[in-house]
Structure 1
Amino acid sequence: MPGTRFDVAIVGGGLVGASLAIALDRIGRRVALIEAAPAGAPPAVFDERNLSFAEATVHGLRALGVLRHLRAPPGAIRRIHVSRAGDFGRVVLDASEHGRDAFGQVVVARDFGLALEARLNECTHVTRLRPMRFEAASSGGGMRVLQMRDAAGAAHSIEAQLLVGADGTRSIVRDALGIGVDEHDFRQTLFVARVRTERAPDGTAYERFGPNGPTALLPRGDGHFGVVHGVPRDQADAVAALPEAQWLARLQSAFGWRVGRLIASGTRSAYPIVQVVARSLTGERAVLVGNAAQTLHPIGAQGFNLGLRDALTLAEMIEAGGDPGDATLLSEHARRRAEDRARTLQFSGGLARLTANDGDTMRPLRSLGFGALQHLPALRAQLVGGALGYRGDVPRLCRGEP
């Protein structure tokens, strides 16, 4: 253990936890990053999922110096095409109509993980404790005392002015703080894979809704699409077992022919979808960020974007100086995150429920909604703002400001 006292201890070295550690390093704060995965073995979240970074996220990650470490080119999202099977109408958003080259970028989670790792290796104020598992935390003397255990079973402890739970949906930190959650099981499983299509990506991201969940195609930088396909939970095992030809036929039926024939698919991964929302973001000298604070339905690709705004808002407040675990600071952080969090949860959860309802009365209402979004500037502006990552009080780095 190279040191036992830190300004901030972050439990969880995944997407949001690593990003927060980098943000705090750049302002000179002493950080302990507690990671369950050993060195050389990336966390499980760095897999084949396709991450859709909104413009605000691109600004933030560029400011942190992460994007320059990407080894594979990202795919630009220049248009967003939204429709639903069985409903009239569609919504098409074009970034050029809003003075932008793109709404955001598509990056493979594995590639992003390697970029975060490379950037963390440049940090001079981050101490990585790995493999290490958080077990408990107590308070005293203006500090949080963290109890941990290494891979050999030996106990360790450190002190930090602020404890950050960035340890995912089933957060041990959240449990240790006694913070309850509200859960909604969508009874869906999402499959993700890479697919090759007859027509190469042209910068359009497609979201096609159906009664069993969404099917999305995201333009990757390698000339393929990243596919996300929702199925009822009780069909997940059968879909996982489909041969490639039948899997592609299922995707083709759900999505249609907007990109021509679906030719080939990479390995499929499956993720049960459950919304988990913490009832509080803060505790005594403690705060939750990312999936530990809220795990969303991935419809509209809002999860990591929201989590990064959690992290960069916290870093911005800590940058002002003083005690990072001060109760007033944490209360203000929760206040600043409230609107963005509430609106994003309402958008993702509400859209998932609305588009999955196959009742006869809902179809004409959805068609009217598509028409309104397509033709009413005020509604389109709200949708575009959300797609770009600008909801509520957006942290400075996400706005592209120095």
Structure 2
Amino acid sequence: MDKFDIVIAGGAMAGMTLALAIQHRCQTSLSIAIVEPFETNHQAHPGFDSRSIALSYGTVQLLKNFDLWQDIAPVATPINDIHVSDRSHLGITEISAAEVGVLALGYVVELADVGRIFAQKIAQSANIELICPDSVADIERSQDEVTIRLQSGRQIGSSLLVAADGAVSTCCEKIGLEMHEHDFEQVAVISNVVTDKPHQGRAYERFTEQGPIALLPMSEGRMSLVWCLPPEQAKAVKSMPDEQFIEHLQQRFGWRLGKIEKVGQRASYPLILRYRPQNISHRFAIVGNAAQTLHPIAGQGFNLGIRDVASLAQEIADSQGDPGSYVMLNRFRLRREQDRQATITLTSALVHVFSNDYLSLRIGRNLGLMAMNGISAVKAPLLQRTLGLVER
């Protein structure tokens, strides 16, 4: 049986970032295995598909700390401004990088690009073994070790197993960790669109009575669309001919970017909050979507997961001994508690407030947006979380 100091189940963004972060923090003193069912360069890899994600300012600082940002920067598009509005109502707020005093509020990257870059770095790392394609079949834990049997029949041992294997985590299910679910009764339709006006690095969050529409600036003048709708409407919108889809989106989003000229291939996924209150167990930790999967409103989910990764990597490095010890794991648990709860509460509250057209909430949210635009003290708490500048 091959033995490693740490085994990470899941080789998408969270898992690969964790492996590279631990390597950087521990200066290659720990051996790491990543168990991943899908080959990174395979078009069907669910963790590195056609989606784009917004990396907050704080996430970029963490990636810089891990010596990863310089490789991602060439394929990243800066977010210079964020424009938040409520369809057919007065509420508008804007946040600019200049106002905050940073070069960019965040950056948009295509997951496929980051997957390719990280795979190259993993391949060059002597202390990281990528076991792919393979997956976890069974887990046995003793006092000092975790034994993992893989679907291929191979057995590997480790001091610590980290679940980074997505929202419906096989590892968490085998360990028996409880998961809470809340169905937002929305589906996200995603695509890339092209508009006749240049985006100039501006991101848009547009609240409509059906749900939020987000447009993120991308390379080559494209915008990444995330359109949240009730399930039946999402199904209808996704299957519309391009011309009809564009017309429908134009009506909902407006003309701030001029005419929407082109739409790419569409995909969709249901929006369900999945949250595991317990993010550790004996010789076991959870990061990223396996710990919590959030609604995409305000773009918090991935950035919260990277804070999980950064905290665990730092605690492992600081432990300077057994990477799966209870003392280290408990420090990680306590460290992540407040940030996880606050971010989950914020995103769920935003969905509730902005995804309906009740008169009382409509008035309240518009007053709130106008207040945020005029009073910096009101804007500050949301701005801090948007930038990812929170305690972890």
What CA distance in whole angstroms lies between the structure 2 residues aligned with 1:228 and 1:72?
23
In structure 2, the residue matched to 1:292 is: 290
Give the number of equivalent residue pairs: 387
| Residue 137 (structure 2) pairs with residue 129 (structure 1) | no
What's the CA shift for 1:71?
Answer: 8.7
CA contact (8 A) 2:217 2:224 kept: yes
- 1:269 corresponds to: 267
Give the counterpart of 2:71 among 69, 72, 76.
69
Determine the C-alpha separation between the residues in 1 that align with 2:38 and 2:202: 36
Letter in 1 for 2:333: A
In structure 1, runs of 5+ residues without a counterpart are 394-402
How many angstroms apart in 1 are the aligned matches of 2:220 and 2:382? 28
Question: Which residue in 1 is equivalent to 2:141?
Answer: 139
Q: Which of 170, 181, 189 matches 2:168?
A: 170
Counterparts of 2:101 and 2:310, CA distance in 1: 25
User: What's the C-alpha RMSD, in Å, of the aligned pairs?
Assistant: 1.5
Shift of 1:47: 1.5
Match of 2:54 in 1: 52
Q: Give the Cα separation in 2 of the matches to 1:390 and 1:55.
A: 8
Distance 1:39 1:187, change over 3 A: closer
Matches within 5 A, 1:377-396: 377-393=376-392
Displacement after TM superposition at 1:216 (Å):
1.0
In the aligned structure 2, how far is the partner of 1:84 from the partner of 1:40?
Answer: 39
CA contact (8 A) 1:195 1:227 kept: yes
Letter in 2 for 1:187: E
1:304-363 CA distances to partner (integer Å, 9 max, x unpaired)?
111111011100011111111111111110111111111111121110111012111211
TM-score (norm 1): 0.93
- Residue 226 of structure 1 corresponds to 224
Aligned to 1:308: 306
What secondary structure is seen at the aligned counterpart in 2 of 1:132? coil
Structure 1 contact 51–107 (Cα < 8 Å) conserved? yes
Question: 2-side partners of 1:39 and 1:268: how far apart?
Answer: 21
Q: Percent identity between the aligned chains?
A: 33
Aligned to 1:399: none
Note the 1:3-402 alignment, pairs <5 A.
Answer: 4-26=2-24, 27=26, 28=28, 29-38=30-39, 40-41=41-42, 43-70=45-72, 73-150=75-152, 155-320=153-318, 321-393=320-392
Deviation at 1:50, TM superposition (A): 1.4
Is the contact between residue 10 and residue 34 of structure 2 (CA under 8 Å) also seen in structure 1? yes
- Deviation >4 Å, runs of 4+: none
C-alpha distance in 2 between matches for 1:379 and 1:72: 35
- Please state how far the C-alpha of 1:156 moved relative to its aligned partner: 1.5
1:130-162 CA distance string (max 9 Å, x none):
111101211124001111112xxxx11111000
For residue 264 of structure 2, what is the amino acid of its counterpart? G
Aligned-partner Cα distance in 2 for 1:341–1:193: 29
Instruction: Give, in angstroms, the shift of residue 60 of structure 1.
Output: 2.0
Structure 2's unaligned 5+ residue stretches are none
